[in-house]
């Protein structure tokens, strides 16, 4: 646990704090921190409590904050944060008071919606750092899903024609063989009858 609350600390929050991956609780509230929330905060997978309230932080809430699955206590109130609150099960589950005091924040669970309505389109979002990796992973998942269904369809078609085609060819081949054997039998019977008639004529003469 780290508690730096109620001091006169200033400047930006160090990026290196995101490397404290075993940290469970971080309280940096009631200081004079400026700048943006650390982009790589999503690396702190074990974080259960995060309090950055009553500072002068600005900019957007990082998308990676929504990756903290164990986060049960969050307070970003009374800052200068702006833009749409990222969509995630974690971030939308908190009480709106968690985001209060940031008049430029919008989107669920706040009552003020982003420009564009319920969906909160807001200003264009430029992905950087971990956000780019998240977007790439989503694109890969879509590609894998599409490829899976295409492969399944091709495999089904190939398997169907392999089985049905083989059976059909066997049927055709069997019919052809039967016809050949039938013709061969007729030829043998005809030849035998002709030879037998010739033999009888010779014996009579």
Domain boundaries defined on the chain: 2-125
- Output 123 or 145, whichever has higher pLDDT: 145
Give the pLDDT band (50/70/90) at residue 185. confident
pLDDT the model gives residue 121: 34
- Span 73-83, mean pLDDT? 96
- Output 191 or 118, whichever has higher pLDDT: 191
CATH class of domain segment(s) 2-125: alpha beta
- Output 175 or 111, whichever has higher pLDDT: 111
- Output 61 or 180, whichever has higher pLDDT: 61
What is the value of pTM for the model shown? 0.57
CB neighbourhood size of 98 (10 A): 19
pLDDT over 70 (residue 147): no
Q: How far apart (Å, rounded) are the C-alpha atoms in residues 3 and 1?
A: 7
pLDDT over 80 (residue 161): no
């Amino acid at each position: 646990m780290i508690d730096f609350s109620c001091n006169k600390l200033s400047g930006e929050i160090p990026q290196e704090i995101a490397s404290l991956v075993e940290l469970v609780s971080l309280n940096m509230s009631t200081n004079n921190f400026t700048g943006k929330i650390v982009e790589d905060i999503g690396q702190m997978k074990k974080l259960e409590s995060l309090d950055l309230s009553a500072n002068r932080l600005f900019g957007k809430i990082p998308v990676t904050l929504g990756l903290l699955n164990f986060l049960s206590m969050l307070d970003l109130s009374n800052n200068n944060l702006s833009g749409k609150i990222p969509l995630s099960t974690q971030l939308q589950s908190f009480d709106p008071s968690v985001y209060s005091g940031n008049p430029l924040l919008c989107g669920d669970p706040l009552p003020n919606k982003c420009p564009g309505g319920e969906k909160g389109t807001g200003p264009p979002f430029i992905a950087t750092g971990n956000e780019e990796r998240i977007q790439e992973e989503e694109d890969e998942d879509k590609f894998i899903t599409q490829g899976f269904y295409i492969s399944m369809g091709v495999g089904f078609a190939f398997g169907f024609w392999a089985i049905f085609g083989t059976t059909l060819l066997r049927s055709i081949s069997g019919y052809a063989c039967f016809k050949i054997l039938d013709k061969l039998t007729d030829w043998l019977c005809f030849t035998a009858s002709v030879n037998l008639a010739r033999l009888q004529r010779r014996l009579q003469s």
